[in-house]
Structure 1
Amino acid sequence: MIDFLPLFQPLNQALIDFLKQLNEKDWQRATVCKDWTVKDIAAHLLDTSIRRLSLGRDEYQHLQQEFSTYEELLAHINNINKEWVAASKRLSPNILIELISKYQDDLIAYFETLDPFDMALFPVTWAGKSHSENWFDIAREYSERWLHQQQIRFAFNNQELLEPKFYSPYLEIIMEALPYTYQKINAEIGKSVAVEIVGPAGKRWTIKKDKRFWVFDEAHKQADALIYIDQQIAWLLFSKGIHAEEAGQFYQIHGERHLALPVLKMLTVMA
């Protein structure tokens, strides 16, 4: 288990340093997030810190709502995201930077008070969990903050977050979605699938079929299906930033192709 808490401060500081360099036009630059500018994503990062502190640290919930389906929950989240981004258009970039800096630091301080093995406020649903321990939820938070900052940097072709110290932990946590991605894929017991992210930050992950589930296989024996994915495109592929059909030149499949193809549909965000 990676201790993600020490990773937040360098990631957060990298965000503040980058945002401080932007000019007025830069803040309005389009991003890979449909309909969201650089400023919109920055505002969303502020929102996630404040919402999390309100719900977790302060135990405050504006509305008590229950959702009967995942689709209802997703629609609710998308709606409140949209509302916040719209309201934040009134804020200056300087105000945004000041607030992001304060509340992302407050969020780290809150996370540091949590027992890593207690039940988290939210499950990591994209990994197939109905309940999660705090360490996993905190790791998921790192993955989301990495992703949104990378979406901002991608608009400027900035590669800093693809350095192993930032990107490798992100890849480690999102690959927790791999067994869940295969939960409905039928295969003989013992069949295995390997995913190798190619680049300085990458490595190989292998899952195998046991009697009931797909599970990680640390032995990394020769897999029945192996897919290589360029690290430049992996984060986009697994966050709906690019369709598999558009990414053909960035991956290669060896072995049983039908077993490898589900990897391209793995999703590591709520979407």
Structure 2
Amino acid sequence: MFGFFHYLRRKKLLKEPLPPEWKEALDEALPFARELDSRERRGLEDHLKILVKHKHWEGAAGFELTEEVRLQVALQGARMARGLPLDAFARLSEIVIYGQDFVRPDDPFEGPVHGEAHPFGTVVLSWPACQEGLAYPCSGYNPMLHEFAHMLDVSSGYFDGTPMLHRGDDYEPWARVFQYYFEDLRQNPEASFLDLYAAEDEAEFFAVSTEAFFELPDVLLEHAPELYRELARFYRVEPQVIPCSCESHEPFEDDPAGDPEEVGRPLYRASLPGDDLS
């Protein structure tokens, strides 16, 4: 019965026209949206409505959560889910946003956290980190895409780098391709264009690869064509074919010789059950 009423509520929402200010924000934040075909554009707008209206949003530690902030974050989730079914983010229930990088009381490194995804359905983000990701749309660094990717990953029940794929036949090539590139990154980090945080585990590899797929698709296709194709088959989009208007395509660089805690992004990850936030 609950599912039926949820379906009716969503159906009513999707019939509503996109508010003019949302459309303006969409076209400004995602200029490539004008190049999308009708299927992807409709998927983008529908997922945007669902994320803004059907998820719980919370500003943490006194942060004022404005509609602009909600829209900017939701647009990144809608961007990545535009080719996916409307229940793609069914596991996601809440988005919590801090006005600054946050720290965790049980973190041995006491480093700033840019984002976390929890298996019970909560995504936590640092707004300054989100702003940095938005400011450099072709850098391959986008904590919103990263954490939303974790929520797609856990749709299968675990943070393991394998979301719920569309067909049973998809799992064998997915596992083979992802394992190959994951092991190659661990063995040859100096040769990889991916952020080295991807070498943490399979879940982080999927999340970082997702960032590259949407922000550096031409680079991903050139250096890891099989990985690009698996992600394209899962997300059901081809970002590489959309002209990019960014002035810079240079990803952030990591130092493979640096200390482990200094390599990659500062501690943002899929969170384990029982983790507490400060």
Q: Which has the higher contact order (CA 8 A, sep 6+)?
A: 2
* TM-score, normalisation: structure 2: 0.28
The structure with more radius of gyration: 1
